[in-house]
A and B are shown apart, each in its own frame.
Chain A
Amino acid sequence: MSAPQIHIETLPRSIVLLLVLGFVALAAFPFVGSDFYTAMVNRMMILAIFAMSLDLLQGVTGLVSLGHAAYFGIAGYALAFITPQDQPISLYTSLPIAVGASALAALVIGFLVVRTHGIYFIMVTMAFAQMVFYLFFDNRALGGSDGLYINFRPDALLFDLENKRVFYFFTLACLLLCFFFLRRVLWSPFGRALAGIRVNEHRMRALGFGTFSHKLAAFTLAGALAGLAGYLWAAQTGFVNPELMGFHLSAHAIMMLILGGMGNFAGAIIGAFAFEYLLHLFKDLPDIGAFRMGKHWQLWMGLFIVALIILAPKGIVGLLNRWFGGSGTRQGGEHG
């Protein structure tokens, strides 16, 4: 099967400190940053939720999904469909519907894909995500290639999500809740079983675990949380299009996990911020003569990815852990 990889499940003190400082910085940011950057950090937080949801599959269970964006997009589209043209819809009905739609899609697709392994799983998740992509892309009734507009953010009764700052803190709260929820899941019997499946699925089956149902549950839960992220994205931007389900977003999420480090959810957050920041940097590069560096951001990103995968396959958290000699548990060998 797959080569051994390092998983730091217990967060070293250096990382915990970094996270606490990060959360303080995030809480303070809207008061010091401009509107433009606050909106950007808001999107980064949403993508951090998305990356964490993938981490449950990729880092914890060892299932590399190259189609996770489908569940991100489905919840966004669900919000677009149920929001009326002339008035907002309640947060308390639309959020469960949108997340439920993603979870249902993940359950159905998961039922088919979870029975495959390794390379098949990668290809099949990608193919099904592409199927969802074309379903929306080809049908004018579903928005077609142009996508759909959402005229109102959901109505939360107690607070006003139309206010940028309120929405920012709502997103931050979702991010924290997701993080603590997933950390609980990681150390629950269910999470331990998922980690066991990653390390040795045959042995887990021999021990009497229903690995199919565990993997399907993880796939569905990950899809639901990706849906939460997609819902927030659609609410923030007021717009959905098939790109939200595209292959590139799925691959970006994998990149975030590689960048940050897998299997502990903290890495997913760090990776999402780092990746989106890099993307922003590359797109903002100055022109050199007639050569527009920023326009060719994909070239720099591509070279960066290739260099990263050759030089530092264990991500930022792995690097920090090595530098600070953290006490995190290590599994597997150094070579991989």
Chain B
Amino acid sequence: MDLVNFLIQLLNSVQYGLLLFMLAAGLTLIFGIMGVVNLAHGSFYMLGAYLAWSLSGLLGSLTLAIVVGTLLSVVFGLALERLLFRHFYHRDHLDQVLLTFGLIYVFEEMRSILWGDDVHGVAVPAALSASIPLTDTLSYPVYRLFMSGLCIVLAIGLYLLISKTRLGMKIRAGAFNHEMTEALGVNVRLIHAVVFALGVGLASIAGMIAAPISSVYPNMGSQVLIMCFVVVVIGGIGSVRGALIAALLVGLVDTFGKVLLPQVSGMLVYMLMAAVLLYKPEGLFKQ
């Protein structure tokens, strides 16, 4: 592998890792703060991708579709939290697994009824459709750089939100000691709703920005969900920082595995997880 190829793969792996982070951050926050295991998190990614496809068709612009789609997803997340998830925060993990597994089926079929079972492509916005030439034959698409950039901006925003704002302080307090925080007059229910909607929004944005490069297809949430589980297990449940590092690690291993060891590439990420489990059963950054 020469330097240019290496650079391309490196950029791809960072882009994939950052995309995984967008999903895993929500998953790990929802677990860390509300104690809910959410198998349906991949469905929010799928929801985002389908919203990007149908809204960009309706509105004529992917940028506009992302803005409107994010709003719709957040509203959807708030409704879902209010109607279902809120009642499962203190239930057994087994009940949560089953509830969210049932929801996967429901969401998947709603998608089938609303949007059909065909594979769709989403056009890259004209302003970002250029490629940066690296050599005579190789180039790197601007859109992928834009994706990574947007993910980095959102990751920094998430970091600032959680560690620097009053809301973030309440979120952390609620995760640390629910009863005490409530006794101090913080509306923990509202905090939970906000965190859940935040998770849904991040997953949906990930799906929307990934739509132009991965296309939009049925069951697209399942595979990404399992990758997110691996990321969360490696990073340590509840740790956003752990999720970021683990997501980048998984992105690297997966992307370079596909190039260097194609025969076992599907398994490499799981071997990484096995190695981490042997060394630290609670993940690298357990809080």
Residues of A in contact with B (beta carbons under 8 Å apart): 2-3, 5, 58, 64, 66, 112-113, 115-116, 118-120, 122-124, 126-128, 130-131, 134-135, 137-139, 247, 251, 254-255, 258, 296, 298-299, 301-306, 308-310, 313, 336
Residue of A nearest to B35 (CB): A119
List B contacts of A296 (CB < 8 A): 109, 112-113
A58: chain B residues within 8 A (beta carbon): 94
Q: CB-CB contacts of B56-98 with A at 8 A, as 1s and 0s?
A: 0000000000000000000000000000100100111111011
* B105 at interface by CB-CB < 8 Å: yes
- B266 partner, pick from A122, A135, A310, beta carbons under 8 A: A135
- Known contacts A130-B270, A247-B222, A296-B112; A303 and B281 CB within 8 A of each other: no
With A135-B267, A139-B263 already in contact, the answer to whether A115 and B229 are too (CB < 8 A) is no
Instruction: Give the distance to chain A from B190, nearest Cβ to Cβ, in Å.
Output: 23
Q: Are A120 and B37 in contact (CB under 8 A)?
A: no
Q: How far is the CA of A310 from the CA of B222 in the complex (A)?
A: 24
The interface centre, meaning the residue of A115, A119, A310 with most chain B CB atoms within 10 A of its CB, is A119
- Verify A299–B106 contact, CB threshold 8 A: yes
- Given the known A-B contacts A123-B37, A302-B105, A305-B98, are A115 and B281 also in contact in the complex, defined by CB atoms under 8 Å? yes
CA distance A301 to B110 in the complex (A): 13
Please, which residues of chain A bring their CB within 8 A of the CB of B263? 138-139
- Judging by beta carbons under 8 Å apart, are A138 and B266 in contact? yes
User: A191 vs B95: C-alpha distance in the bound complex, in angstroms?
Assistant: 24
Q: Which residues of A contact B112 (CB under 8 A)?
A: 296
Chain B CB count within 10 A is highest, among A5, A130, A137, A254, for A130
Which 3 residue pairs of A and B lie closest in terms of their CB atoms, listed nearest first?
A302-B105, A305-B102, A134-B266
Q: Which of B2-10, B122-130, B200-208, B230-238 contacts A (4 or more CB under 8 A)?
A: B230-238
Known: A120-B233, A247-B226, A313-B95. A112 touches B101 (CB 8 A): no
Residues of A within 8 A of B105 (CB): 298-299, 301-302, 305
Interchain CA distance A247-B40 in the complex, whole Å: 13
Q: Is there an interface contact between A302 and B277, defined as CB atoms closer than 8 Å?
A: no
Query: What are the residues of chain B within 8 A of A127 when measuring CB–CB?
Result: 226, 229-230, 233, 270, 273
Whether A299 lies near B102 (C-beta < 8 A) is: no
Given A124-B233, A247-B222, A298 contacting B99 (CB threshold 8 A): no
In chain A, what residue has the closest Cβ to B222? Answer: A247
User: Is chain A's binding surface mostly helix, strand, loop or mixed?
Assistant: helix
Instruction: Annotate B245-287 by CB proximity to A: 1 below 8 A, 0 otherwise.
Output: 0000000000000000001111100110110011001110000
Chain A residues within an 8 Å CB radius of B277 = 112-113, 115-116, 124
- State how many angstroms separate the Cβ of B71 from the closest Cβ of chain A: 26
Give the CA-CA distance A254 to B101 in the complex, in Å. 10
- B91 close to A302 (CB less than 8 A): no
**Listed residue (A5, A127, A128, A299) with the most chain B CB atoms within 10 angstroms of its CB:** A127
Contact between B106 and A302, CB atoms less than 8 A apart: yes
Q: Are A120 and B281 in contact (CB under 8 A)?
A: yes
Other 17 A-B pairs with CB < 8 A, given A3-B90, A131-B270: A64-B94, A66-B97, A127-B233, A131-B267, A251-B97, A254-B101, A255-B101, A298-B105, A299-B105, A302-B106, A302-B109, A303-B102, A306-B103, A306-B106, A308-B98, A309-B99, A313-B91
Q: Which residue of the partner chain B has the closest CB to A296?
A: B109
A contact residues around B18 at 8 Å (CB): none
B266 touches A3 (CB 8 A): no
Q: Which residues on the A side are within 8 Å of B90 (C-beta)?
A: 3
Q: Distance (Å) between the CB of A59 and the closest chain B CB?
A: 10
Alpha-carbon separation in the docked complex, A299 to B106 (Å): 5
With both beta carbons as reference points, the residue of chain B lying nearest to A262 in the complex is identified as B94
